[in-house]
Amino acid sequence: MTISKVPLSVVVIAWTALVSSVTDTAAQVSDGVVKIGVLTDMTGFLSDIAGPGAVLAVRMAVSDFGGEVLGRPIDVVAADNANKADVAVNLARNWFDTQNVDMITDLGNSAIGLASVNMAAQKNPGTSRITNEECTPTSVHYAYDTYALAKGTASTLVKMKLDSWYFVTIDFAGGHSIEKDATDVVQAGGGKVLGSARHPTDASDFSSYILQAQASKAKVVGFATAGQAAVNAIKTANEFGLRQGGQALASLSPMSIASVLTLPRTWS
């Protein structure tokens, strides 16, 4: 089996993606080294659930695997995607085309994942959203997705008669998808959505978004956001007394244990 420099698969974990290249021909690996690129958010709002920790995790996995595959050494390189799809795609393309990178992992948010799926499909022909309408022969989806993140929480709360919702949503593909999936679940359960407020990925002040959620009088404020943005939004909601006013706060995205531990004990 030869591992070439053109990507043949994209593995995406909701807001995270893995692009790899494997072709089923003879018995030589690229330039003699299996090179894995970790393209991740090093300093932005997703850095606590990706970033340096993702790089370390890959290095640990390589070590656990014995440091080689098919008799060839495994090398790990890393770069910051700045949470921008164009930056990520340009870095990925350069890695594949000129740096002999065989696989790219992590990528970060859904917009970056979707852009990378398309780039991978261009590198190696395939059909064209990661799990459903944009699933391709160059892509495999594993672990959680936005449907799973939304359904468990939303369906449980609606069954508890917490059936009117307002969303605070991060304004990119992943946030939009979580909001849509949660909306579908709420409405299917007989509930209703009263509105949403969308914030940019670099938001630091969530006061206006939380005040809109509070004014909605919704029984549940759903946070369709991620990473440090989710932490800051939930902290702001606590400071503004939403729970004390009778509104439930529901996080609909993954957070690291370190982030959860920074939240007020009364938020959930």
- Tens-place pLDDT, residues 163-219: 999 999 998 777 888 899 999 999 999 999 999 999 998 888 999 999 999 999 999
Q: Between these two residues, 124 and 85, which has the higher pLDDT value?
A: 85
- Whether 20 has a pLDDT exceeding 70, the answer reads no
Mean model confidence pLDDT for the chain: 77
Q: Between these two residues, 251 and 11, which has the higher pLDDT value?
A: 251
Which residues are paired to 39 by β-bridges?
Answer: 79, 106
E strands, 14-83, are 16-20, 34-40, 68-69, 72-80
pLDDT of residue 208: 96
Cβ-proximal residues to 136 (8 Å cutoff; 6+ apart), any chain: 10, 117, 120, 121, 126, 127, 128
pLDDT of residue 258: 53
pLDDT in tens, 67-111: 988 788 999 999 998 888 888 888 888 887 778 887 788 877 767
Query: Residues 231, 235, 216, CA angle at the centre, nearest 5°?
Result: 105
pTM above 0.75, yes or no: no
Query: Residues 46, 51, 57, CA angle at the centre, nearest 5°?
Result: 125
- Whether 21 has a pLDDT exceeding 60, the answer reads no
What are the two backbone dihedrals, phi and then psi, of residue 103, each rounded to the nearest 5 degrees? Answer: -150, 140
SS3 136: coil
At 40, which amino acid appears? Answer: T
Instruction: Report which secondary-structure segment, H or E, holds 172.
Output: none
Which residues are paired to 37 by β-bridges?
Answer: 77, 104
Contact between 80 and 90 under an 8 Å Cβ cutoff? The reply is: no
pLDDT in tens, 227-241: 788 889 999 999 999
- Whether 22 has a pLDDT exceeding 70, the answer reads no
Distance from C-alpha of 106 to C-alpha of 198, rounded to nearest angstrom: 25
SS3 199: strand
Instruction: Report which secondary-structure segment, H or E, holds 248.
Output: strand 248-251
- Whether 259 has a pLDDT exceeding 60, the answer reads no
Bridge-based pairing of strands 9-13 and 139-141 is parallel
Q: Which two tokens stand for residue 112?
A: 């970056």
pLDDT of residue 98: 78
pLDDT in tens, 141-163: 655 677 888 888 999 999 999 99
Res. 23 pLDDT band, cuts 50 70 90: very low
Average confidence (pLDDT) over 107-120: 68
pLDDT in tens, 47-69: 888 889 989 999 999 999 899 88
Most confident of 184-193, 219-228, 259-268: 184-193
pLDDT of residue 193: 97
Distance from C-alpha of 102 to C-alpha of 36, rounded to nearest angstrom: 6
Distance from C-alpha of 254 to C-alpha of 13, rounded to nearest angstrom: 11
Contact between 193 and 219 under an 8 Å Cβ cutoff? The reply is: no
